[in-house]
């Protein structure tokens, strides 16, 4: 393999940028991360860590790329750069090469993901300035779920100009796409026809995968819906949300539901499942029980959407590592009968690298 076959994958969040380099066999060869963007932060490259002023994403990406260069990787050695983009709306439904038209469509989706798409675009624009001829691609979290039937995507509200864009999109799409690719190799058998997939981490969702395609998922218009999560509330009555907006104000209500709820809000202790398992307080046990109950309850909905169940697959940090939580969910699902249960390592970044190579025609 020559160095110019390497793929750089970038995942730009609100306060961090994660980078990973993959070779032609999609093996990660280098990892880097800048965190604490907007203030004094950390830049970690290949195991080393340095404090740095990170006023914005441009500065953070510059320092990441400098760190990669010091470890033998320059932009002119890359085949391409693949970006995780959270929202593609209804127009961007598959991995796509970045062009002025694609960039404009990603920008059009900013109202749907105001906390994510602007930062995804910042990374795309930074690479364009530094290496204008380097091919870039985007993989969209929402794309995997565009196969959901319209009846699953529509909210029961009038279709007006004011409600355009208010529909269930779903997220964690690159994780589910990676799971669909990886499970047959892991199991040594064809992909189960009706697969319940659980992506469980600080953000958590379920996906009903029938014949390799998403037919239902728990996240909706935003990533706050569905399961109990680390700091997100999961499903909550719309009238309760309106009440929170009236009493707290819209901005505080948003922060309350996205950053102060979920496991953190229930336990009063932490959003980290490992900390809750170690704490063994009454509130931490209740938070874990709540997580398992609602994961199982939503699983029933996913099973109904598929018309049955042939296998279950766990992925994500909690899904892969928290045996107690997996067992709690499976205990609630014992009524569904005995089916194979798999633990599939999350490979979202490798999936984006594969998407990049496919889009670029390798």
Per the CB < 8 A criterion, the answer to whether 257 and 224 are in contact is: yes
Active-site hit among 141, 235, 237, 362 = 141
- Spatial CA neighbour of 261 closest among 232, 284, 295: 232
200: β partners: 204
The verdict on whether 355 is a catalytic residue reads: no
Give CA–CA dist 30/22, Å, rounded: 7
Give CA–CA dist 18/239, Å, rounded: 37
Burial class (CB within 10 angstroms; exposed 0-12, middle 13-18, buried 19+) of 29:
middle
**Residue 211, by phi and psi: left (phi above 0), alpha (psi -120 to 50) or beta?**
left
φ, ψ dihedrals at 138, nearest 5°? -130, 135
Strands (E) located in the chain: 6-12, 16-22, 28-35, 39-45, 48-54, 78-85, 96-97, 136-140, 194-200, 204-210, 213-217, 311-315, 341-343
Residues 6+ apart with CB under 8 A from 20: 8, 9, 28, 30, 31, 32, 349, 353
Give CA–CA dist 248/95, Å, rounded: 39
φ, ψ dihedrals at 291, nearest 5°? -60, -50
Per the CB < 8 A criterion, the answer to whether 83 and 10 are in contact is: yes
Give CA–CA dist 206/209, Å, rounded: 10
Residues 6+ apart with CB under 8 A from 142: 86, 87, 88, 89, 92, 169, 170, 171, 173
Q: Name the residues annotated as catalytic.
A: 141
């Amino acid at each position: 393999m020559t160095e110019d076959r390497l793929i750089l994958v970038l995942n730009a969040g609100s306060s961090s940028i994660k980078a990973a380099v993959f070779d032609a066999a999609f093996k990660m060869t280098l990892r880097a991360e800048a965190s604490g963007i907007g203030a004094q932060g950390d830049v970690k490259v290949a195991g080393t860590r340095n404090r740095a002023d990170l006023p914005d994403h441009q500065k953070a990406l510059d320092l990441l790329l400098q760190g990669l260069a010091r470890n033998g990787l320059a932009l002119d050695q890359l085949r391409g750069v693949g970006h995780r983009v959270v929202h593609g709306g209804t127009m961007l439904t598959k991995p796509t090469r970045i062009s002025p038209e694609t960039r404009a469509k990603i920008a059009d989706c900013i109202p749907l993901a105001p906390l994510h798409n602007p930062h995804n675009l910042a990374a795309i624009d930074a690479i364009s300035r530094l290496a204008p001829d380097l091919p870039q691609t985007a993989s969209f979290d929402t794309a995997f779920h565009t196969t959901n039937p319209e009846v699953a995507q529509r909210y029961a509200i009038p279709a007006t100009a004011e409600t355009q864009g208010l529909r269930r999109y779903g997220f964690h799409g690159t994780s589910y796409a990676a799971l669909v690719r990886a499970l047959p190799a892991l199991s040594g058998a064809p992909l189960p026809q009706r697969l319940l997939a659980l992506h469980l981490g600080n953000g958590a969702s379920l996906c009903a995968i029938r014949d390799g395609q998403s037919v239902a998922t728990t996240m909706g218009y935003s990533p706050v819906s569905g399961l109990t999560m680390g700091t997100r509330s999961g499903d909550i009555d719309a009238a309760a949300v309106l009440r929170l907006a009236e009493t707290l104000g819209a901005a505080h209500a948003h922060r309350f539901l996205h950053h102060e709820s979920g496991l953190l809000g229930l336990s009063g202790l932490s959003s980290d499942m490992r900390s809750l398992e170690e704490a063994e307080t009454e509130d931490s046990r209740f938070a874990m029980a709540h997580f398992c109950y609602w994961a199982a309850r939503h699983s029933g909905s996913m099973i109904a959407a598929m018309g049955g169940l042939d296998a279950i697959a766990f992925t994500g940090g909690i899904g892969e590592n928290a045996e107690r939580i997996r067992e709690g969910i499976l205990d609630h699902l014992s009524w569904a009968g005995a089916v194979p249960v798999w633990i599939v390592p999350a490979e979202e970044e490798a999936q984006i690298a594969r998407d990049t190579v496919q889009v670029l025609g390798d």
